[in-house]
Structure 1
Amino acid sequence: MNKWIYVLLICTFFSCKEEAKKSVEEPKQDLKSLAGFKEVKDIQLYGGSLYRLESYPSKFIKSRPVDVWLPKNYSEDYNYAVVYMHDGQMLFDASQTWNKQEWEVDEWATKLVGEDLVKDFIVVGIHNISDIRWFDLFPENAINYLSKEEQESLADYNGKSDYELQGNNYLNFLVKELKPLIDKTFSVSTDKSNTFVMGSSMGGLMSMYAVSEYPDVFGGAACISTHWVGAKPGDINPLPEAIFKYMEDHLPKAGQHKLYFDYGNQTLDQYYPQYAPRVDAILEAKGYTKADAVNLFFEGKDHSENSWNQRLNKPLVFLLDK
């Protein structure tokens, strides 16, 4: 009897040892690959690496690519802040964009982190679909501040004879689908104090809209060359007033958020300086000071990535300063 117990113990010992050895030798599963993200090799980066989910199967909006930029020496032992950016295909490599310009996000992120001016962060870039970009990025609920007649004539302002706004669905995709995926796939801090949204032009409007609709999700927004016009510039255009009335009612009060706005005065940006006093008044009425909200003017700057990449350090430092 004792003999068989002894044999059983020996077998059990070697079995456990083999299992332990097997568990050590098995490679750790790559969460990025499991989620469908693949590293983009044919891209010119100043630093870091780029992973792409080629076609996110959203139930809210039309499927599109999503990019995630990771800094050099990205580690799963550390939790990073996250900056969600619109127009993702314009952020990293000018050789692959339609106008041969880029935001230089990887350049600025690498330099600012390297100089210890900002907390460590990753960037999530949501690609746009040019034909429906306006519908995706217009702050949809601002339409409620138009009269019935103005709503019916909205085609006169956006240049489309028929339209279906998707701003709320775009935010549903961002908050209810994409953010949970990023939170479980990458090593990030999930709280609002480490979650930001940034964009230019219509993306600036959507960034303002995101922090207004989901103030418990986003701790700050950077709205660069914000397209206060709302659509095509014109002498008779009720959209700016509707947008500002929406902001008066829904932009979060000061205390828990950081808001960055800016504008130039060339090309499409020439239409924005007239709205600066209204933006300033809204921020002041909400209790913001220069410590948590700015609306900066850049003389001679136009509406392009080449202008935005010259000052991208300012919104990044403003939102992500240590």
Structure 2
Amino acid sequence: MKKVFILIFICFNLTIINAQKKSVKYGILEVYENYKSVNVQARNIGVWLPQNYSPKKKYAVLYMHDGQMLFDSTTTFNKTEWGVDECLTKLMREGKIKNTIVIGIWNTKENRHQEYFPQKPYESLSKEEKENVGVSLKKIGMSAEFTPSSDNYLKFIVEELKPFIDSTYSTLIDKENTFIAGSSMGGLISMYAVCEYPNVFGGAACLSTHWPGTFEVENNPIPEIFYNYLTNNLPKPNQNKFYFDYGTEELDALYPPLQTKVDAIMKSKGFSNENWITQKFEGENHSENAWKKRLHIPMEFLLKR
């Protein structure tokens, strides 16, 4: 047993040693390639450290989904990025936000929808409704055998990744300094993360939140199960923050009436401007370029000094 433990410990430390430094415009990006997990498929993890990062200081931590899309447009499939390093560097220099490091969790492409789809709401669907969801997703090339795995994905972040980050970097480990963010399906899983782990994550930034779950609105039961879930599972408004937004073009054109219903729930639960914001961006579409332009708004809201 002792030999097995030593071997596991050595392998884990090799993962740490083998973090590769990548070039970004501001700060340093350390990438842990093929990071292993007992809960989800292995993936790359990027850790962005701001300029002049020092172990003598303590940093808030922002976990972000779709990690390969955050920092470097030369390596993304569509040659666009969020510009996270530029945004946070500017805000920190101006003294508008806390010293912060960003953890970019790469998606695994084939499992992205399963990992980002809130699992407990899905499980409240009837058998027929689940089958219809599978049929709808099959139309866009996904398997009709759709089963969310978001509970394991969140368990990976909370029970495996966060302890590693907190033991490797100089972080503030409390929920007041731990946040989560994403767009589209990444917005859904960020909302779900705070509701499931309100004592771990102090707030979520949900950009262009994909409330339909699939890509159809007609006869779609999914938004309703999200409304029910929020009604029954939102944390107390004085304990956590939520940021939602949406554009009005392309896929985002589906969101305004759905977000309006979410906003009504937020109000009914006592959320106010101090702990909840919803923003509409007229003429903006569903893209990294759109999210890049407005990223500073949720960052200031969540990470304000």
- Secondary structure of the residue aligned to 2:110 is helix
Q: Following the alignment from structure 1 to structure 2, what is the Cα–Cα distance between the partners of residues 181 and 55?
A: 15
Q: How do residues 124-273 of structure 1 correspond to structure 2 at under 5 angstroms?
A: 124-159=103-138, 160-273=143-256
2:9 aligned residue: none
Q: Check conservation: 2:206, 2:244, Cα contact below 8 A.
A: yes
Q: Does 1:291 align with 2:274?
A: yes
AA partner of residue 21 (structure 2) = V
Instruction: Name the structure 2 match of 1:97.
Output: 76
**Alpha-carbon separation, structure 2, partners of 1:153 and 1:309:** 34
Does the CA contact (< 8 Å) of 2:20 and 2:32 recur in 1?
no
Q: After TM superposition, give the deviation of residue 158 of structure 1 in Å.
A: 2.2
Q: Which residue in the other structure is 2:16 paired with?
A: 35
Tell me: CA distance 1:145–1:107, structure 2 relative to 1, closer, same or farther (3 Å). Answer: same
> Which among 46, 49, 57 is matched to residue 70 of structure 1?
49
CA offsets 1:2-25 (integer angstroms, 9 cap, x no match): xxxxxxxxxxxxxxxxxxxxxxxx
Give identity over the alignment, percent: 48
Shift in Å, 1:32:
8.9
**Alignment match, 1:28:** none
Q: Secondary structure at the match of 1:135?
A: helix
Please say if residues 37 and 51 of structure 1, whose CA atoms lie closer than 8 Å, have aligned partners that are also in contact.
no
* 1:81 is aligned to 2:81: no
Q: Separation in 2 of the partners of 1:259 and 1:317?
A: 12
Q: Shift in Å at residue 236 of structure 1?
A: 1.7
- Could you tell me how far 1:215 is from its partner in structure 2? 0.4
Aligned length: 290
Q: Does 1:48 align with 2:31?
A: no
Secondary structure at the counterpart of residue 54 of structure 1: strand
| CA distance in 2 between partners of 1:151 and 1:297 (Å) | 31
| Contact 1:192-1:219 within 8 A present in 2 as well | yes
Query: What SS class does the counterpart of residue 130 from structure 1 fall into?
Result: coil
Compute the RMSD of aligned alpha carbons.
Answer: 1.5
Q: Distance in 2 between matches of 1:52 and 1:127?
A: 10
TM superposition shift of 1:34: 6.7
Greater mean deviation of Cα atoms: 285-294 or 81-90: 285-294
Moved over 3 A (4+): 31-34
Distance 2:61 2:180 in 1: 8
Which structure 1 residue ranges, 5 or more long, are not aligned?
1-30
Q: Is the 8 A contact 1:82 1:121 kept in 2?
A: yes
Instruction: Indicate if the aligned counterparts of 1:32 and 1:38 stay in contact, CA closer than 8 A.
Output: no
1:240 and 1:37, CA in 2 relative to 1: closer, same or farther beyond 3 A?
A: farther
The residue aligned with 1:300 is 283
Kindly provide the CA deviation profile for residues 86-121 of structure 1, in whole angstroms up to 9, marking residues without a partner as x. Answer: 000000011110001000000001000000010100
In structure 1, distance between residues paired with 2:194 and 2:185: 15
Q: When the two structures are superposed, what TM-score results if normalisation uses the length of structure 2?
A: 0.92
CA distance in 2, matches of 1:146, 1:253: 26
Contact kept? 1:32, 1:185, Cα under 8 Å:
no
* Partner SS for 2:104: strand
Higher alpha-carbon Rg? 1
